[in-house]
Chains A and B, each alone.
Chain A
Amino acid sequence: MAAITCPMCGFEFVPGGPACRVSGCPMAVGGCHTHHCPRCGHAMPDEDWSVLARWVRRLFGRGAPAAATLAGLSPGESAVVDKLTGDGALLAGLTAQGLVPGARLTLVQRAPAYVIEIGETTLALEHAVAEGIWLLPGDDAGPREPVEASR
């Protein structure tokens, strides 16, 4: 996930990074849906998670211009995987199932789980995993970076 700047104190941080304590955080029960500034504690909503927020953005015509990750792709759209981020063991599983940088995927649906097709393989996965699947802008398969794991 890209770094964001806290509108309260101007501190720049990466949500879900080392400063964030998802486990044990009382706000994270059932999944973390807010970004808290690690410096001042100011809370911002996670717009990627909110269906309504995405809908409002789309209404204004600037909803997710380039689908940076799978979480920003719309059902029926197809894209080429750029790189993968997230838990290492999870990535080892994803790659073994054929989801690798350079592979073309098609998003079938977003709820109740993301369903994607890669060739003859169909996978179902949750939002948190989808956020770690980065896609190439446009349709061209350019140079790719390797897999990056957080641990």
Chain B
Amino acid sequence: MAVELRRVVLLGNPNVGKSALFGALTGLHVNVSNYPGTTVEVSRGTLPGGIEVLDSPGLNSLAGGSEDERVAAAVVRELRDTKGGVVLQVADAKNLRRALLITFQLGQLGVPTVLALNMADEAEERGIRVDASALADSVGVPVVATVATTRRGVEQVRAALPHARPPANHLPIAPDAAIDIGRWLDGHEVHPAHVARYHAALLGCADRIARRVTSAPAIPTQPALRTLGRIAVHPVWGWPILAAVLGAMFLVVGLLGAQVLVDLLEERLFGGLVSPFVVSLASLLPWRLLGDLIAGPYGLVTMGLSYGLAIVLPIVTTFFLAFALLEDSGYLPRLAVMADRGFRLLGLNGKAVLPMVLGLGCDTMATLTTRILPTRKERILATLLLALGIPCSAQLGVILAMLSAVPPLFGFVWAGAVATVMLVVGLIAARVLPGERGAFLVELPPLRRPSLENVLAKTAARVEWYLKEALPLFLVGTLALFVLDRTGALAAVIRLGEPIVVTALGLPAEASAAFLIGFLRRDFAATRLFDMSRHGALTDAQTVVAMVTITLFIPCVANVLVIAKERGARASAVIAAVVFPVAILGGMAARLVLAVLGIGG
């Protein structure tokens, strides 16, 4: 049956390689990752002939209740109402029963489908054999075995797409267990208990077919990775592994990024070559003002570009690299298991560890990820804690660089102050906010060796995103400081900030300028403080107080906007109103602790 093909939607359970197959089909690269719930947005690409291809978030059922599943269901609903629309369902060849649950639902909807049995290589290694033609006969759709990562079967999938057919829809399900999935997609509410019965009935049928067409596994999957996957959540051995993972991340980001690469770019490239060159170039300009704008103390090149490119860029790049490795290895859900107990104290679910870790990359992206949390209370709590105490990679890197310059004891005061403030605010907020914590349930995908190509492509995409989003703000911030400085307003602001900055925090008055740009981006402010401490404008104790304050400070403009978009303007205002005084109080507390320890300046 020939269909005029217009649009193809990739659909499937989480972690079956949908995004990888999407990349192999379209040649376009998207977020390919191993945690259930990272592809929240729908990626688009095209096939030769102008056929539109859409990737969709992983789903376990079209009647599922999670945010991701609703997005995927909405994509299918749109497809059902489009002529020439085809679903390319991607299945894990090893876990056919769960894929068939979705296939049956597509059959109920009558959507033309092609089934790709992906990760066929993993299945073969395990001795699992799926009889594709027998499966095609029972389900009534073309079935193709694929290995998306090596592009095996990709051409056959492309060739099969025009022959897509609606899956067979004659399942022996008791009428009281059935749900009209078409009406469900149109917004017809069904009692969740009914949904559970319906899933159970569908899986009963899926089991029968899967058993008939699959040969049982003879060989356990890559034993080393399987064992590692198990001990990564072990009550005892899980902790050393967690420590090793965090330690490795610190080595890559803190040492390689924040020290080796920053030294290379900041000192050698900008300090030694670019800045002197630009300064001498600027001195040739006829107008002094223009020269200062480019190369003065608040110059676009000497401050804006050198902060953004030489200090922050190497740090975010190494962080994104480390994070992509974690994501693709499948370790993140295991981290959620290890963190669940601790997060329970803060009224959160172990799943909240994902936005928290992601927040170490960028709080703005992480705020979007809080969607994966089951209840509204948890989403607000996680957003608050992110905005308050999770430094983004740029800021963290700068802070790590500052820490390396002060004695270790000062570092512990910083870490202790930030952790205590987070804990206190979290404990109070968890009691004050109405609502409940959702039950902890997470799927653990097998640990996999990350593909170098995926990791590098993902890192590149995130770095590009950082450059487009943050660098303009660095330049705008520098420009604003320049204008304020020239008009004399900066001196006024510094005077205005004196009671807080000088009296309460005991910092030099010039630090006010740093906090002022902190309203734009925290990392920008931290970079300014880093610059001050390196040039001897801050004592060790003052450095720590400034670091605590700026770690807890208002997040960047982009984050505030995303908070307002995701949680509403009111929640955003409340969060800002909590964070600002807490940051000042945290700084004052750190000053007090240092004074008590007898090392305060």
Contact = CB atoms under 8 A, between A and B. Distances in A.
Interface of A: 23, 29-31, 84, 86-98, 100-103, 108-109, 111-113, 115, 119-126, 128-129, 146-149, 151
Contact of A31 (B333, B344, B441, B446): B344
Interface stretch (B59-67, B243-251, B543-551): B59-67
B95 A89 contact: no
Contacts of A90: 439, 441
Contacts of A129: 439-441
Contacts of B446: 122
A151 B194 CA distance: 11
Contacts of A125: 439-442
Given A125-B439, A129-B440, A96 B60 contact: yes
- Which are the 4 A-B pairs with shortest beta-carbon distances? A88-B192, A149-B193, A95-B199, A96-B60
Contacts of B340: 112-113, 126
A78 to B, nearest CB: 16
19 contacts: A29-B431, A30-B344, A87-B192, A92-B195, A93-B66, A95-B199, A96-B98, A97-B98, A98-B203, A100-B203, A112-B338, A113-B337, A115-B233, A115-B337, A121-B443, A122-B229, A122-B444, A125-B439, A128-B439
Given A95-B196, A113-B337, A100 B233 contact: no
Interface size of B as a range: 35 or more
Contact of A30 (B233, B337, B345, B439): B345
Interface string B184-203: 00000001110111011001
B508 to A, nearest CB: 44
Interface string B324-338: 000000000100111
Contact of B234 (A30, A91, A109): A109
A121 B441 contact: no
B204 interface: yes
B196 A112 contact: no
B63 A92 contact: yes
B337 A96 contact: no
A128 B438 CA distance: 10
Contact of B238 (A101, A103, A112, A126): A112
Contacts of A111: 235
A92 B64 contact: yes
A146 B440 contact: no
Given A93-B60, A100-B200, A146-B200, A123 B439 contact: no
A98 to B, nearest CB: 5
A115 B336 CA distance: 12
Contacts of A98: 95, 97-98, 203
Nearest to B221: A120
A11 B436 CA distance: 29
Given A31-B344, A112-B340, A125-B439, A93 B65 contact: yes
B200 A95 contact: yes
A112 B195 contact: no
B371 interface: no
Nearest to A87: B439
Contacts of B195: 88, 91-92, 95
B429 to A, nearest CB: 14
A92 B444 contact: no
B478 to A, nearest CB: 47
A126 B440 contact: yes
Given A122-B444, A123-B442, 13 more contacts: A23-B436, A93-B60, A93-B65, A93-B441, A94-B441, A103-B203, A108-B230, A109-B230, A113-B233, A122-B443, A124-B442, A149-B193, A151-B193
Given A112-B238, A147-B193, A149-B193, A96 B442 contact: no
B292 interface: no
Nearest to A102: B204
A120 B192 contact: no
Given A31-B344, A125-B440, A129-B439, A94 B196 contact: yes
Nearest to A29: B431
A88 B92 CA distance: 27
Nearest to B203: A100
Given A96-B199, A112-B233, A88 B444 contact: no
Nearest to B60: A96
B199 A92 contact: yes
B341 A88 contact: no
B543 to A, nearest CB: 37
Contact of B341 (A100, A112, A124, A148): A112
A124 to B, nearest CB: 5
Interface string B349-391: 0100000000000000000000000000000000000000000
Interface in B481-518: none
A97 B443 contact: yes
B331 to A, nearest CB: 13
Nearest to B36: A97
B458 interface: no
B196 A147 contact: yes
B398 interface: no
B101 A96 contact: yes
A102 B201 CA distance: 11
B31 to A, nearest CB: 22
A149 B92 contact: no
A122 B34 CA distance: 14
A111 B593 CA distance: 37
Contacts of A101: 200
Contacts of B337: 112-113, 115, 124
Interface in B72-127: 92, 94-95, 97-98, 101
B439 to A, nearest CB: 5
A84 B203 CA distance: 15
A94 B431 CA distance: 29
A111 B238 CA distance: 10
B98 A91 contact: no
A119 B193 contact: no
B441 A147 contact: no
A91 B193 contact: yes
Contacts of A84: 196
Interface string B531-569: 000000000000000000000000000000000000000
Contacts of B336: 124
Contacts of B439: 86-87, 90, 125-126, 128-129
Interface string B133-150: 000000000000000000
B234 A113 contact: no
B60 A97 contact: yes
Nearest to A91: B196
Nearest to A100: B200
Contacts of A100: 199-200, 203-204
Greatest chain A CB density within 10 A among B94, B98, B197, B441 is at B441
